[in-house]
Amino acid sequence: MPYLGSEDTVKELKKALSNPHIQADPLRYRNVIQRVIRHMTQGVDVSSVFMEMVKASATIDIVQKKLVYLYMCTYAPLKPDLALLAINTLCKDCSDPNPMVRGLALRSMCSLRMPGIQEHLQQPIRNGLRDKASYVRRVAVLGCAKMQKLQGDGEVDGALVNELYSLLRDQDPIVVVNCLRSLEEILACEGGVVINKPIAHHLLNRMPDLDQWGQSEVLTFLLRYKPRCEEELFDILNLLDGYLKSSSPSVVMAATKLFLVLARDFPHVQTDVLVRIKGPLLAACTSESRELCFTALCHVRQILDSLPGHFSSHYKKFFCSYSEPHYIKCQKMDVLCKLVNDENMQQILEELRGYCTDVSAELAQGAIFAIGNIARTYTEQCVRILTELLELKQEHITSAVVQVFRDLVWLCPQCIESVSQALCDCEEAVQDSEGKQALIWLLGVHGERVPNAPYVLEDFVENVKSEAFSAVKVELLTALVRLFLVRPAECQDMLGRLLYYCIEEETDMMVRDRALFYYRLLQAGTEETKRFLCSPTADHSLRLLEDQAECSVNAWASDFNTLVPIYGKEQWAAMTANQVVEFHHKDSVCEASTVMGEGNTSSGHITSPQPLYSFP
């Protein structure tokens, strides 16, 4: 919705732009143009001054040209007839003696979103690719990708692709990186830019000339090249070794991924690389940038899956600060769980214990679950801490502790006795669905060890009519039937009342069907019911060993420095399921080989420093 009084404002601006006295004063003229841009960004429709703005582009003032170009790119689609005048002006500026003007004009032409613009773009872009000024070549290279996007699914211009491949040898390093990005966009349907041996070696030798952004981009593209022999592989690794110590986290991560992927068959090299990036990763984990810190923590977790004790000596780096956001604290707690060993176990447990009483209920429960994960290895110490937390009688704390106990007795049967003793008098502090289900399950499976188990379940039976969660009712049915099999005298009456209510009065069909099932099962006899509900289960320690098994670095090397460690492999696969790209490399390989000279041995030479990596 336009602002009130916008029509009068536009009329005033149009009058000012047409005033010859204002046009004669460059500073006043520029101020009026700035007012037009300001109103445009505020949502005012200033398209009626299009002609006046086109006339204003005839100036040697670079700032004024930038403002006018911005206006043209915004309103050209709305004024296609008048936009032809803008195109003529931009084409004229593409031949201006000033390279800055040529680059600005070409960039603005490529940003116009109007039908038929492609035929006007081709010649200026081709001229820009051969321009003497590096700035114009940078703009022209990116303009090739924009022009291809405007064409949609049109046929790729092979001559243009060949010219972009030839520009990979340009003296300006930014032009080289822009060429890679443009080729990637233009050849997307064919699998992207092809990196053969001459291109790979050329990019490796140009790495010192690139800035940090260019280095990380080139390192990412080099993942597509596979060395033809071990000697070439180690020459490449020795050449890129210095980038593992770069001051830029993006360069370090990109170089690390390239090392891990290229050294798939050399685990000792992979391990050495992961040891060397320990310092940069720890620095990133303590960075003031929350995004960088979170990303680094996700990658640390990934590394710990293959090297469990990799960061154990630096466990204090992962202690939470009060000012950190919740999502970073959760990541740090997950990392601490993976760093626990005999030496630091006591300190880590004490730190996590402090988080259990945090003002944030979600963080407190996360810390309790973290202690539960550690309890799989250090059961006695963790159960003692969890039992002490039950004495606080806090609802969210008790609920989380009971849930941890449920999982713990399943995985570590040796703690059943301690857990059973701790369950007394905690039912009043459990109000949420998950906590109730966990407590009822424990009382049903191990109720013979809890003296007041029938009386706790009786309280749930008395309040079953007001229970809002169907899952709690189903769990209550199962637990009470199980407890009836071991303590029949105490449970017979309330089991009958519960079955009667669930069959005759309950409206939820899931609960009613479960009650009917148990009723008919009990009619078959207690022995048959016991055989069905209390049959031996599988060895739970097998799952514990499976969770603790180390995975190979090669299992996640290709996912390193991507969004997979952040989202998770399954979730990321679901998010990108519809982004399938067909790979047809054959034609692109032929083009790249022709332009870069596959048979030219001089272009394939790598200038390597003193070797750090060699054959094992």
What average pLDDT does range 61-69 have in this prediction? 86
What average pLDDT does range 256-283 have in this prediction? 92
**Dist CA 101 CA 111 (whole Å):** 15
With contact defined as beta carbons under 8 Å apart, do 139 and 168 qualify? no
Instruction: Give percent helix, percent strand, percent coil of the chain, each to the nearest 5.
Output: 75, 0, 25
Nearest to 400 by CA among 346, 463, 358: 358
- Whether 319 is in a domain gets the answer no
**Beta-strand runs (E) in 112-257:** none
Tokens 């060949």 correspond to 162
pTM of the model as a whole: 0.80
Predicted confidence (pLDDT) at residue 26 exceeds the cutoff of 80: yes
Tokens 């100036």 correspond to 59
Tell me the percentage of the chain whose pLDDT exceeds 90: 47
Report residue 577's pLDDT band, with 50, 70 and 90 as the boundaries: confident
What average pLDDT does range 204-209 have in this prediction? 92
**Dist CA 533 CA 377 (whole Å):** 29
pLDDT at 541: 54
pLDDT at 4: 43
Structural domain boundaries, residue 263? 189-306+552-616
pLDDT, one tens digit per residue, over 516-527 is 999 999 998 888
pLDDT, one tens digit per residue, over 417-469 is 888 888 877 777 788 899 999 999 999 988 888 888 898 899 999 989 888 88
HEC-encoded secondary structure of 481-548:
HHHHHHCHHHHHHHHHHHHHHHHHCCCCHHHHHHHHHHHHHHHCCHHHHHHHHCCCCCCCHHHHHHHH
Report residue 21's pLDDT band, with 50, 70 and 90 as the boundaries: confident
What average pLDDT does range 98-104 have in this prediction? 90
What average pLDDT does range 67-96 have in this prediction? 81
pLDDT at 341: 92
Taking every pair of Cα atoms in the chain, the longest distance, rounded to a whole number of angstroms, is 106
- Whether 349 is in a domain gets the answer no
- What single string gives the DSSP state of each residue in 401-465? HHHHHHHHHHH-GGGHHHHHHHTTT-GGG--SHHHHHHHHHHHHHSGGGSTTHHHHHHHHHHTGG
Predicted confidence (pLDDT) at residue 335 exceeds the cutoff of 90: yes
pLDDT, one tens digit per residue, over 129-144 is 998 999 999 999 999 8
Mean pLDDT lowest among 297-306, 310-319, 389-398, 573-582: 573-582
pLDDT, one tens digit per residue, over 297-318 is 999 999 998 888 889 999 999 9
What average pLDDT does range 109-121 have in this prediction? 78
Predicted confidence (pLDDT) at residue 44 exceeds the cutoff of 60: yes
Sign of the dihedral through C-alpha 583, 584, 586, 589: negative
pLDDT at 337: 93
Mean pLDDT lowest among 73-77, 152-156, 348-352: 152-156
Tokens 């116009």 correspond to 112
Predicted confidence (pLDDT) at residue 287 exceeds the cutoff of 70: yes
> Between 197-206 and 230-240, two packed helices, what is the crossing angle to 10 degrees?
20
Predicted confidence (pLDDT) at residue 608 exceeds the cutoff of 70: no
pLDDT, one tens digit per residue, over 218-246 is 999 999 999 988 999 999 999 999 999 89
pLDDT at 468: 86
- Whether 284 is in a domain gets the answer yes
pLDDT at 237: 92
Predicted confidence (pLDDT) at residue 64 exceeds the cutoff of 60: yes
Predicted confidence (pLDDT) at residue 30 exceeds the cutoff of 80: yes
- Whether 224 is in a domain gets the answer yes
pLDDT at 217: 94
Predicted confidence (pLDDT) at residue 599 exceeds the cutoff of 80: no
What average pLDDT does range 474-500 have in this prediction? 92
- Whether 105 is in a domain gets the answer no
**Dist CA 416 CA 413 (whole Å):** 6
For residue 405, CA distances in Å to 301, 356, 383 come to: 25, 15, 8
The CA-based angle 526-527-532, given to 5 degrees, is: 95
Predicted confidence (pLDDT) at residue 56 exceeds the cutoff of 90: no
pLDDT at 538: 55
- Whether 209 is in a domain gets the answer yes
Predicted confidence (pLDDT) at residue 367 exceeds the cutoff of 90: yes
**Dist CA 65 CA 54 (whole Å):** 10
Per-chain mean pLDDT for the chain: 85
- Whether 22 is in a domain gets the answer no
pLDDT at 548: 52
Tell me the percentage of the chain whose pLDDT exceeds 70: 90
With contact defined as beta carbons under 8 Å apart, do 230 and 615 qualify? yes
pLDDT at 539: 57
pLDDT at 602: 38
With contact defined as beta carbons under 8 Å apart, do 352 and 319 qualify? no
Domain count, the chain: 1
**H-assigned helices in 19-61:** 20-24, 26-41, 50-56
pLDDT, one tens digit per residue, over 530-565 is 888 876 665 555 455 455 556 788 889 999 999 999
Q: How far apart are the first and last CA of the chain?
A: 70
The CA-based angle 453-457-461, given to 5 degrees, is: 165
pLDDT: which is higher, 129 or 155: 129
What average pLDDT does range 595-604 have in this prediction? 44
Mean pLDDT lowest among 43-57, 67-81, 586-600: 586-600
- Whether 194 is in a domain gets the answer yes
Predicted confidence (pLDDT) at residue 507 exceeds the cutoff of 80: yes
